[in-house]
Chains A and B, each alone.
Chain A
Amino acid sequence: MAIPILFVLSVFLGIFAYTTLVERKALGRIQNRFGPNRVGRWGILQPIADGLKLLIKEDIVPRRADQFVHFLAPVIAVIPSILLFSVVPVGTRLVPVDLNIGILFAFAVSTVSVLALFMGGWASRNKFSLLGAMRAVAQVVSYEVPMVLAAVAVVMAVGSLSTLRIARAQSGGILNVTNWFVFRPWGFVGFVLFTIGAMAESARTPFDIPEAESEIIAGYHTEYSGFKFALFQMGEYLASIAMAGITVTMFLGGYNGPGSGPGWVGGLISMFWFFIKLAFMIVLNIWIRGTWPRVRVDQLLGFAWKVLLPMSIANIVAVGMWHYLTFRPLAWVATTLWLVLWFVTLSKLAATENVAPRTYRYAS
């Protein structure tokens, strides 16, 4: 048991540290800046410097805050994100813990972090924190539903909740590539839904509404400083990396790629493919962050309930059709048509629908 724990802590925390650097560098280039370049060559030591700085910074707790909950929140924010990695298979038969309910475990654990955000916002006794926390809860709860339903499609197709078996189900085909679920109509839709949901759940731009700087200062972590702030950031990054790992496992073929397989060599190659795909997902996140403005909270929730949710339900039906139509060409045509029809209808509806303004009881 010690080896998987050490593995998760060392490898993924390392990836977290350097994701921050890569993100700042890449955003810098997108935004016509240099990004960090002072600490070490290409700023390579920047994450270490940041960590040290945050460790020795003064820890400020508001006088009227709920001291205990205020302390507990950042801890709770980080732990579930680390636990998530325990079910991500990084190579052939290489998974820290092979739970037979891996996917279920991942969702159960990732939901806990929303508690931390609300605890932080509530305990800070700051209205901006509270607004941020309320937004975070609304957002995570809304996006969890289409995300889980997108995962249900995969689970239905594989017939197992184990992440390892889901990855294994995508091996074979030409060069170990063509059987990836993303190359199925339902898998592609599921991939898009899941990626959007994962991004929203880890509150990254354009979904960084719980901490929208220009609106509510820093949202739920307005009143956090020093290492507690770093823990919140860490939880957020780790969650988004872990979700990227689960996306890779469920849709991008996991560790499968040309040359991957059992044995020493195949195992090493499979790890290589997994981390390449993980890097791709992380860079995709950064890219989207650099090129999209933030949406507004009601638009965001509307998108989740009005577009993503019906689409994910349609996707489940599509998997059912795929399962029962054993003649493959027919299955391809039928599921594609079905999904395109839904997509067109939903995007039309979302564009035209106009909701009357809400009325409130008080304060006319």
Chain B
Amino acid sequence: MVARDRLEQLRGKFGSAIQRVDLPGDSRLFVFVEPSVVKNICQYIFRDLDARYVISIGIDDRPFSGNFMVAHNFAFDEDHLLCSVLTYLPSNNPKIDSISDVVPAANWAEREMRDLVGIEPVGHRYLKRLVLPDGWPEGEHPLRKDFSWDHVPKEFNDEREFTFDEPPEGCTVVPFGPFHPTLDEPAHFRLYVEGEMVRGCEYRGFMAHRGIEKMAESVLGYNDIPMLAERICGICGCVHSVAYVQAVESAVALKPPPRAEYIRTIMLEIERLHSHLLWVGLACHIVGFDTLFMQSFRIREPIMWIAEKISGNRKTYALCVIGGVRWDITPVLKSELRQVLDKLEAEWREVVAAVSKDKNIQKRTVGVGLTNRDLVKNAGLVGPVARAAGVDIDCRRDHPYAAYDRVEFDVITAGGGDVWSRLLVRMSEVFESIRIIRQCLERMDDGPLQSPVDGELPVGRMGLSSVEAPRGESHHFVITGENNRPRRWRVRAPTYQNLQAVPMMIKDQQIADMTISLGSIDPCFSCTDRLETIDLRSGATRVWSQRELLELARAKEVRR
């Protein structure tokens, strides 16, 4: 009972400040504490108990308890325990002590909390807006419950440009993005450059925030959300769908049938396969080696086809519902999948042999985009980025879900902490994925695909779920609610943490290494951003404003 031990440690230290404890099993722990000790308890958990920071969540709980809530989530990876520290804040003028000076990784999460829920992190050093655009009026917080999902404040000025920090003396500013040939999605890095050396940067992102969480909390139903969740990301969609479903299932203590768990595992690993193959291709493209880029795409294509055969789609598998899955893997599909894997394994071995001996790729990647254990800990880095720095974490093993506790696989780590190590880790993980899928195909028994769900799901329960996406841990937090939909659903994609470390990784490097360093975390901005804005489009004779475009789009909608 490790969860109980951890709880005793907390009780011993902060006995009187702990108001309530919820211990639903041996792998989840919810601790309700007084607002005044939140910072201390987080410091204790993060520094003394050496837990990994996951995410902070602001919750507007006023319609239910009359209060705001804040949750700080931590993971004890060795104890297989996910822990949430919760606190209630008064409904007028909610404030909480910022934990970002003891847990630097909480920087973004607290800024997002301030933007979207209006909870003020007191003592945060850099309170610039993160998610909301600069033209958004003060005091309007979209994730509050009294803010309608389709409301746009009148004072919103969508023409307003970002205000930027002053660059350091002697540096030139080179804008990198939102449009750049190697950025597939919008993000803006303002690089401070001295000659060819990058001295720092400012990040402005969240240009593609689609309001997915708000939509789920106010319009959709429990079983609609997995379909929306997998549209969070164009590559690791299934991860989000599974993570959401598991969070709900863990909240209401529902267990999917074993066959469904195996099918989820198989689809997640198929997704990892095609994501890693894509990434190796893109990395080669970034260093100007287009031949391998094309070859990886060729090798990857059969995976997309088999995914289409299983689910009807190359991507967005529409796989999960609460309590099970929607697609079966028939004996015919099984044998086809086995063939695809055999061919893939042989071809991938050739690629790995070619790449791992290539001196030129090494020259471009060794010692580039450096991270170390400290940075991993402080910035909360996850996935291949952490594993390439020698930090042995993998949610599939540490917080087992689906059928991962029934298969054998190795967690690949490397020591360099540079782009080269990340390349090696990802290339080897492909073989582990193949191994996992083969075991699943072997051990999968016949049985139902879904567990029956009777009546309404219980209300007010909390659920956590971590799923190891190809890019790292994807963490979902759910509070179940009325009207067949969750009260609060928070998605923390792996890139959300990894991106925060990019300014540290590119500092004092050549500008030429910027793209490969950024690329090496396999950034996924749509996961991180979750909104939608349309940028100015300049024609030759006329500039369309965002408003005109929106009106144009709406008029078209009406005509149809």
Contacts and interface: CB of A to CB of B under 8 A. Distances in A.
Interface of A: 27, 30-33, 58, 127-128, 131, 205-206, 208-209, 212-217, 290-299, 357-358, 360-363
Contacts of B508: 357
Nearest to A58: B540
A360 B196 contact: no
A214 B168 contact: no
B197 A360 contact: yes
Contacts of A292: 289, 360
- Report whether over half of chain A's contact residues are helix, strand or loop; otherwise say mixed: loop
B288 A297 contact: no
B276 to A, nearest CB: 19
A33 B294 contact: yes
A216 B514 CA distance: 10
A291 B291 contact: yes
A363 B194 CA distance: 8
Most chain-A CB neighbours within 10 Å: which of B197, B289, B363, B513?
A: B289
A300 to B, nearest CB: 10
B169 to A, nearest CB: 6
A213 B285 CA distance: 9
B512 A293 contact: no
Contacts of B364: 293-296
Interface string B282-294: 0011111111011
Contacts of B170: 360-363
Interface in B295-346: 295, 298
Most chain-B CB neighbours within 10 Å: which of A205, A360, A361?
A: A360
Contact of B181 (A131, A214, A294, A358): A214
Contact of A30 (B180, B291, B360): B291
Interface residues of B, number: 44
Contacts of B500: none
A208 B510 CA distance: 16
A214 B515 contact: yes
Contacts of A214: 181-182, 285-288, 515-516
B361 interface: yes
Contacts of B360: 206, 292-293, 295
Contacts of B168: 362-363
Given A131-B174, A360-B194, A363-B171, A32 B295 contact: yes
A363 B295 CA distance: 42
Contacts of B197: 358, 360
A362 B194 contact: yes
A292 B288 CA distance: 8
B429 to A, nearest CB: 22
B199 interface: yes
**For the complex of A and B, 10 pairs with smallest distance between CB atoms:** A362-B170, A294-B288, A293-B289, A31-B294, A214-B182, A363-B168, A214-B286, A363-B199, A293-B287, A363-B171
A32 B294 contact: yes
A309 to B, nearest CB: 20
14 contacts: A127-B172, A128-B174, A131-B174, A208-B288, A213-B181, A214-B286, A214-B288, A294-B288, A299-B363, A358-B197, A360-B195, A361-B170, A362-B171, A363-B200
Interface string B200-219: 10000000000000000000
A131 B194 CA distance: 11
A295 B182 CA distance: 17
Contacts of A291: 291
Contacts of A58: 540
A294 B287 contact: yes
Contacts of B182: 213-215
Most chain-A CB neighbours within 10 Å: which of B200, B358, B364?
A: B364
A293 B358 CA distance: 10
Given A293-B284, A295-B363, A296-B363, A31 B510 contact: no
Interface in B350-366: 358, 360-361, 363-364
A215 B171 contact: no
B457 interface: no
A205 B291 contact: no
B175 interface: yes
A305 B516 CA distance: 26
B244 interface: no
Contact of B510 (A128, A213, A296): A296
B288 A206 contact: yes
Contact of A31 (B195, B196, B291): B291
Nearest to A291: B291
B121 to A, nearest CB: 30
Given A31-B291, A131-B196, A362-B194, A293 B514 contact: no
Contacts of B291: 30-31, 290-291
B511 interface: yes
Nearest to A127: B174
Nearest to A209: B512
A217 B288 contact: no
Contacts of A361: 170
A25 B506 CA distance: 37
Contacts of A297: 196, 510, 512
A354 to B, nearest CB: 11
A363 B169 contact: yes
Contact of A363 (B192, B511, B512): B192
B200 to A, nearest CB: 8
A97 to B, nearest CB: 38
Contacts of B363: 295-296, 299
Nearest to A358: B197
Contacts of B171: 362-363
Given A212-B288, A293-B360, A361-B170, A131 B511 contact: yes
Contacts of B290: 27, 31, 290
A298 B511 contact: no
B514 A215 contact: yes
A185 B227 CA distance: 68
Nearest to B519: A214
Contact of A293 (B181, B295, B361, B540): B361
Given A128-B174, A131-B174, A361-B170, A296 B512 contact: yes
Contacts of B516: 214
Contacts of B192: 363
A237 B14 CA distance: 73
A212 to B, nearest CB: 6
A295 B169 CA distance: 30
A89 B196 CA distance: 42
Nearest to A213: B181
B459 to A, nearest CB: 50
A298 B194 contact: no
